[in-house]
Amino acid sequence: MAGYTGDREKGFKRTSWEYSGEGSGGIWSTLDDLILWEKNFENSVIGSTGLMRRLSTPASLSAGAISPYCLGMMVGSHRGVAWEGHGGGMDGFYNDQVRFPDKRLSVIVLTNNTVINPYLGKLDVANVFLDEDPTVEPAPEVDKASAETVEPWLGFYQDTTTGVGFEVADKAGFAVLDMFGSAVELEIESPSSLVAGRGLGQMRVELGTAEPLPRVTIQLRPNPQIALTRAPEPTGDHEEFVGSFRNDELRAIHTFALDGEQLTVTRDGPLGSRGPTPLTQKGPGSYTGSYSGEEAALYTEEEVQYWFARNSGGQATEVVASMDRGEGVRFRRVE
């Protein structure tokens, strides 16, 4: 099977998906079989009724809150109607499905490129049917946030706990939230609140003060809010980050070196050696890089983020690595 990564501006690259492992990325299906699976939630042919109910039962967290995550699915509400479903994707294949049990409505979106957003696509399709039901709340009116509106807050923000970075950026005149190289358009909820997800609030950006450095609060449900300050401008000084950093649990070493004025990283571990990969400085101690081809583990292209943590003496003794499938992985300096 072949999928396509890229976009209309940069062009597309064909990918071949031959992964046959278990878990994420290890399930293959067809539209016809997924329709049968949706019907199985009403009349269980595979699994008991109790099992199917457990798949859509939210988990209770230790603090007493209810998580939107269930056993392999998520639950929520759209226009006052309860939904359950899940989506995902790998290397040019991005899919999503949603079910509205009370309305006996299911929507399945399968794509083989990175341009179509199946998450928003399923809502567009669902809205066509929900619009015909007078008992359903009207679709929320949303306006795209212009980059000019949020101009003081444009820039790179990094969570120093997990190392995950976010960028509020200008894309063709509109504001987007960029995370791991994937940009999501932001819509205006209020003068100081932006959301991504057609009013579902899956991602929310609260605009804080703009001086002396802009501050925002970002929430990716079901995670708690994170208050962040925009990273200062890059210094161009990379020398202090040169060296090797090890994670004992992964049995991996990431070695940072200078290639002229460019900081690069080489990754060594049980799967072999990859790199050197050039890194882009986003702020003092903050870098991003893009793995492609044989360097990538799961996708044709993967973005990684690094944040160097300093000890009380100011030396960079740790680096925190985050990418799409893993956040906050800490490596300690070994030399």
Please, which residues have CB within 8 angstroms of residue 199's CB and are 6 or more apart in sequence?
139, 140, 142, 187, 189
Phi, psi of 103 (to 5 degrees): -105, 0
Contacts of 69 (CB under 8 A, 6+ apart): 58, 59, 222
**pLDDT per residue over 184-215, tens digit each?**
788 888 888 888 765 444 678 889 888 888 98
Contact 118, 96 (CB under 8 A): yes
Residue 47: DSSP 8-state = S
- Arithmetic mean of pLDDT over the chain: 82
Residue 152 CA to residue 160 CA, distance in Å, equals: 22
Domains present along the chain, CATH in parentheses: 2-130 (3.40.710.10), 143-229 (2.40.128), 239-333 (2.40.128.50)
d(Cα 96, Cα 101) in Å, to the nearest integer?
16
Q: 120 Cβ partners below 8 Å, 6+ apart?
A: 197, 198
What is the chain's alpha carbon radius of gyration, rounded to the nearest angstrom? 22
* Residue from 149, 153, 199, 207 nearest 173 by CA: 149
| Interval 262-286: pLDDT, tens | 999 999 988 788 888 899 998 888 8
Q: How many residues does the structure list for the chain?
A: 335
Phi, psi (degrees; rounded to nearest 5) at 261: -100, 10
Strand order in the sheet with 93-100: 74-78, 81-90, 93-100, 105-111
Condensed to tens digits (0 to 9), the pLDDT of residues 116-168 reads 777 778 888 999 999 999 999 997 777 888 999 899 999 888 887 776 778 88
